[in-house]
Amino acid sequence: MDLPIDHLRTLAAVVHQGSLEGAAKQLHITPSAVSQRIRGLEERVGSVLLRRTRPVSVTEAGAAVLRAARQVEQVVSDLASELEQGSTGGSLIPVVVNADSLATWFVPALARAARETGARFEVIRADETISTEKLQNGEAMAALTATREAVPGCTSSPIGVDRYYAVATPEFAVEYFASGLSAATLAAAPQLEFDRHDMFQQRFIKRITRARVDPPRHFVPSSAEFVMAIELGMGWGMVPRLQCAESLASGRLVEIMPGSHIDLPLYWQRWNLRSPVLDALSEVIADEARHAFLSPVKQE
């Protein structure tokens, strides 16, 4: 299958900009030329690649071609750097990261990778359970995910185990859990959730009670503010060790059921592509994770 590089670059630009007009401005060509290239690419592939929504979105076939387009861009960027005709800073590496990792150990790791590689990074925040979707549709080159099975065209490596504790203020714990944790007390106690995808609290409740409980909820979609809301007494919630260790040590927070926690194994998935930038980024992430987490993920 012959897919011209300029056609692939055009598809990537359309998706990045969200429209044919935006891609035309980025590539310094007319919208008509963009449309012709996309049509030509669809004819060569034999499938519709783009949905003309606002912003545009890719079809299943389009996601596969987009992934190939971005891989070609990365290979060209790596080659230009190797031949000293450009720099790794000329390419933008999209990476998917969950909010809790982003708020704790990941940004220092990314800063180190930027210093060591000269690359630029675009961080896409997404829940670790759905981050693989960004790899599948070509939006990202690498992702921190809870999914062990590698996305087609990617490799998957264990990166560490993030441990979450059920915490609240001492006053909150006395008010709602003085008689212990049960389906009844947990149903009455307000809880914090990050967003509608956050299932940690429900997993904890199910483990403790084996019952379906529907407590009052607050939604706070920011890791730092999530912890702040707990410390202000709005409710209890599941917080990773890296975010709550200091508060637990100082007594600002307490475990509502000491000794009970939820472990989240994390995996680093990246394109199965020989790229100096992706290789270096992956090495830095693995090294920083070894220092951040309690233990590596156990391979079965």
Domain boundaries, the chain: 1-86, 164-263
Give this prediction's pTM: 0.76
H or E stretch at 183 = helix 183-188
Asked if the domains 1-86 and 164-263 are classified in one and the same CATH topology, the answer is: no
Residue 299 confidence class, pLDDT cut points 50, 70, 90? very low
C-alpha to C-alpha distance for 136 and 64, rounded to whole angstroms: 8
Cβ-in-10-Å burial (0-12, 13-18, 19+) of 300 comes to exposed
- CATH code of 1-86, in short, is 1.10.10.10
Residues in the chain: 300
Q: For residue 185, what are the β-bridge partners?
A: none
Under CATH, which architecture does the 164-263 domain have? 3-Layer(aba) Sandwich (3.40)
Query: Could you identify the residue written with the tokens 């409710």?
Result: 235
Q: Tens of pLDDT along 245-296?
A: 999 999 999 999 998 999 999 999 998 888 888 999 999 999 999 999 866 5
Q: Tens of pLDDT along 54-100?
A: 899 899 899 888 888 888 887 777 777 766 655 445 568 899 999 99
Report residue 192 CA to chain centroid gap.
21
Average pLDDT over residues 236-243: 96
For residue 298, is it left (φ>0), alpha (ψ between -120 and 50) or beta?
beta
H or E stretch at 269 = strand 261-271
